[in-house]
Amino acid sequence: MGRAASLRAPRTLVRERETGDSATLLPLMAQLRVIKNRMGAVKTIERITKTMQMIATAKFTAASQRAAATKPYTERISDLVHEVSVNAPEYDSPLVKGPSDPVKREYMLVISSDRGMCGAYNGNIFKLALQHIRACKEAGIELEIEVSGKKAVNFFRFQRIDVRERYELGDKPEFEAVEQIADKVISEFGEGRYDAARVIYMRFISNSQQVPTVTQLLPMGRPEEEGSASEAEGPAVVYDFTPSVDELLDELLPRMIKTVLFQSFNDSSVSEQMMRMVAMKAATENAKDFGRTLKRKFNRARQSQITTELTEIISGAAALE
């Protein structure tokens, strides 16, 4: 009887000890599961942001090549128009001088992105747009606003600001689509509907610098009105033009406006991909850092669990003696 009781006692103690272990270790085990699930989620996020960074890098390279290919043409046609305008002081066009009778109305085109995850790209553009809207309102100028990009559509809808028309040109703006926008603006401006036409976009300067910019498309203004530093360099060159200066400017001015607007769309696309690439790289690094932090927490919780188990085993063994 005594031997049988002594054999049954350890089993009873073990069952009691196992019950105690389950009650004691349940919070630690639950904590381990939570941390492990979070580690898996962070790892998934890291893979997603890394993939988005690689996609943004590829798109940035393509967009940068497109913008670099059109920029020399944009600069050269602008210089050509200015050179011709200097030699045509009597040229009369609303595209240069603006409407004869101001109507207190302006046109504004805001270029944004279709997708997010690009840092402060859209936020900086919308901030500048709101500043321009407030300035026009204080001056008593009515604005007709058009937007390009889904983010701008949602932003102005949230701000309860009326938008006349929206465009969706995507990551690869085509010149034909931009030309249609420019033709409409030139036609309406020529009819005297606006005093000025401006575009708000993210200007790409370098990989480390993108600046939200307000560019005036119309009226152009004459180079001498803007001030020229060429006077100190010597007398201006006089050209003979064939066909006439007026015919040249009638052809070059609309083409220059279309080119400048197209360059604005290209710069916006480059800036968007650049800022998305930087944002996704930062997100990937943050995910890695947070993953390492969770790994340390997991190791500490696991070590605490092992220490508790060893303590319970030692205590149980001591109770059997």
| Number of domains forming the structure of the chain | 1
Query: Which pTM value belongs to this model?
Result: 0.78
The answer to whether residue 122 is domain-embedded is: yes
The answer to whether residue 62 is domain-embedded is: no
The pLDDT value recorded for residue 96 is 80
The answer to whether residue 177 is domain-embedded is: yes
The pLDDT value recorded for residue 24 is 43
The answer to whether residue 306 is domain-embedded is: no
The pLDDT value recorded for residue 10 is 37
The pLDDT value recorded for residue 303 is 83
* Domain span including residue 129: 70-226+241-276
Q: Rounded to whole angstroms, how far apart are CA atoms 242 and 51?
A: 55
The pLDDT value recorded for residue 238 is 59
Sites in the chain below the pLDDT cut of 70: 1-28, 89, 221-242, 321
CATH code, 262: 3.40.1380.10
Q: Rounded to whole angstroms, how far apart are CA atoms 94 and 11?
A: 101
The answer to whether residue 54 is domain-embedded is: no
The pLDDT value recorded for residue 83 is 79
